[in-house]
Amino acid sequence: MVKEIFDSALLEVLDKEDSVSFAELKAGRCRFPLGGINEPPVRFCGSPTVIGAIYCKDCMRIAYRRVERR
């Protein structure tokens, strides 16, 4: 059940049309890597980040879930 929630949250982000390449990443932009967990990241989220964080709120949700899964 937890895995299903994780996957749907990840897909929401992978669907983003405004993802950016590494060269396009700027301060204040979410640097969450899109794509498979075991693939080298090519595109990044690029949404405005939460203040003081490196990810936007959607990606923080996913990132923290990844940590918990260790």
Q: How far is the CB of 51 from Zn ion (least distance, A)?
A: 14
Closest to Zn ion by CB, 4 or 30: 30
CA distance 44 to 32: 5
47 binds Zn ion (CB under 5 A): yes
CA distance 70 to 66: 7
Q: What mask, x for binding Zn ion by CB under 5 A, covers residues 1 to 30?
A: -----------------------------x
CA distance 24 to 21: 5
Helix, strand or coil for residue 53? coil
Closest to Zn ion by CB, 1 or 40: 40
